[in-house]
Amino acid sequence: MEILYTIVALAIIICSILTVTTRKILRSATYLLFTLFGAAIIYFMMDYEFLGAVQIAVYAGGIVVLFVFAILLTSQPGKNSEKLESRRKGWGILAALAVACISGWALVSRCCSLMGAKPEMEFLTMKKLGLEMISSNGYLLPFEAVSVLLLACIIGGVAVARKR
């Protein structure tokens, strides 16, 4: 478990840094794919198998493919993006460090209440998950709301992309 954790954590950190620092945008999308796989492995390590499968299917199978299509449609692959101005870069690093400091301080100041090994959890079977999602005292309303949202998204996508 420790070895797997170390590999995944290093992969997530390195790939997410490379995602925002590489200058070829197609490479950036590829590093994003590896970061998303790392997140999926974390979900598997947390024993949420369904969530990990959804993450791989929706993100790696759907969103990254969309990104690659959009990149190939809008820019010449292999072309470097222009160099960042140092002022803009400085502001970006400043904002990122500020976020890191504030959240890191919040984490460290409460770390004693967060310590402790992973507690036991009864395995979340597919049946239990589905019942919880459909039952009226569970997540029926958000479930239906998401279905309406997806319908609106389909119609919106067609309306935006159609030829006039």
Partner 1 sequence: MEINVLYYLLPSLVMFCCGVYGFLTRKNMIAMLISLELMLNAVDINFTVINRYIYPESTEGMFFTLFAIAIAAAETALAIAIIINLYRANKTVDVRDANKLKG
Q: How many angstroms separate the CA atoms of 43 and 52, rounded?
A: 5
92 part of the interface to partner 1, by CB under 8 A: yes
Of 129, 146, 147, 127, which is closest to residue 138 (Cα–Cα)?
Answer: 129
Among 7, 77, 99, 140, binds partner 1 (CB under 8 A): 99
Residues numbered 105 to 134 that lie near partner 1 (CB under 8 A) are 107, 111, 114-121, 124, 129, 132-133
State how far the Cα of 129 lies from the Cα of 144, in Å rounded to an integer: 16
- Our finding on whether 35 is near partner 1 (CB under 8 A) is yes
User: Contact between 53 and partner 1 (CB under 8 A)?
Assistant: no
Q: Counting contacts by CB under 8 A, is residue 44 touching partner 1? A: no
CB of 72 to partner 1, least distance (A): 11
